[in-house]
Amino acid sequence: MQDIKSGLLEEKKECRLLFGALSLLLTAIVIAACVGLFLRSQIILKEEMLATARSHFNNIVLMRRWNAGYGGVYVRKRPGVESNPYLKNPDIHTVDGVTLTLKNPALMTREVSELTSKESICSFHITSLKPINPANAPDEFERKALQDFERGADEVYSRSKEGGEIYFNYIAPLFVEQSCLECHGDQGYKVGDIRGGIRVKFNIRNLLDLHDTTVREFLLLAACFTVVAIFTLYLFMHRFEGRLNRAREKIRDMALKDPLTGIFNRRYLMSRLGEELERAGRNGKNVCCVMLDIDYFKKINDQYGHLFGDAVLKELSARIQKIVRQYDTFARYGGEEFVLILADTERAECIRIAQRVMKTIKEKPFVYKTTSCMVTVSLGLACSLAVETDSETLLKHADDALYQAKRGGRDRIIIYPSENAE
């Protein structure tokens, strides 16, 4: 019995350990997936910002190329329109008295940048390590980027915080084209050289907020999924443990119970008797063993058949189980022999219970289909306090008393040593 209880406790412990391990594994997988998706989202966010910056950069380069392709664009000089002081003879006068001023690629880029900045779209800045216009002088970020371009870098980008806003800064090199030499040829440039760079700057606060909101929602969804998954796993493991316990109980019954009568078998009887004697020895209590045998059972089998004999064994077991106490142990010892273990029971009470068993068996016939017959039993009773004894010895004393009951005419109770109780 102790081994069975230990086995059950060990199985429960293993089930809990399995549940904990699976829960940790599931949580680790979800965390790994969240980390992976977060890192992936960071890459996608960076690529999105780079794609936007490259698009702006390419648009301004194409616009400058269009402007340079026409040698600059002349616009009417109205109030507020100033001539480019860094160009030679930027103004021309028409025959009808209208003054036009030249808008070269650099000036056009700066003026477009002012418009896009007012619309909160983005801003551009043309810069060079050797600027003609001091306004095009590089800041620290641009200077470092221009130096990187000279070492072979294709583009440089970073984030910056300004006035509580977050900006994405992108700069790519601006190469000298044939049309550029008209203004910059005297600086020693040739076609293909890096003239400088164009910096693109735009606000990414909304994009980052959207990204953070999406990440938070995903993490919340992942947390909910993990909780639901672990709860589902708990229900599954609880159900699995229940099935495992039922299977173990079934195996236990198969191992410890008699398949015909459904009561305990000899193996369980010996284990339980040993436990009761050990406990009785510590407490100074009495353990009684009642062994009973069906009288003339072979004749019953021969006269009525083995099916009727099996029915007698099952009915006898059922009758005795109804009258024994809950904490008593009733088992089939073998064949037509049964044993009843009465723990913490005085000798007089044991005799009374044995007499009640004998009366219950013979008070009404045993019936199977259309066949019936009366059955009696012989009983041998032995108590542990009568003599210092172990399991085998106590059973032998009860068996000796049973033998005396059968020799004395059956249908009676004999108490070891050879004392007639009926």
User: Would you call 384 helix, strand, or coil by DSSP?
Assistant: helix
Distance CA 26, CA 29 (A): 5
Residue type, 174: L
Token pair recorded at residue 39: 């890192």
Contact 395, 414 (CB under 8 A): no
Task: Give the DSSP letter of residue 152.
Answer: T
Per-residue pLDDT of the chain (422 residues; tens, 9 = 90+): 555 556 556 767 887 888 888 889 999 999 999 999 999 999 999 999 999 999 999 988 888 888 888 888 888 888 888 888 877 888 888 888 888 888 888 788 888 877 877 777 788 888 888 887 888 899 999 999 999 998 989 999 999 998 889 999 999 998 876 665 555 555 556 666 788 899 999 999 999 999 999 999 999 999 999 999 999 988 888 888 788 778 777 777 777 899 999 999 999 999 999 988 888 888 878 899 999 999 999 999 999 999 999 999 999 999 999 999 888 999 999 999 999 999 888 889 999 999 999 999 999 999 999 999 999 999 999 998 755 678 899 999 999 999 999 999 999 999 988 666 55
Token pair recorded at residue 416: 């070891």
User: Would you call 293 helix, strand, or coil by DSSP?
Assistant: strand
Token pair recorded at residue 327: 């904490």
- Other C-beta atoms closer than 10 Å to the C-beta of 44 total 12
Own/partner pairs for 109-113, CB < 8 Å, 24+ apart? 109/60, 109/63, 109/64, 109/198, 110/135, 112/60, 112/63
Identify the CA nearest to 173 among candidates 126, 210, 106.
Answer: 126
Distance CA 287, CA 383 (A): 6
Domains of the chain: 266-420 (3.30.70.270)
Distance CA 216, CA 185 (A): 55
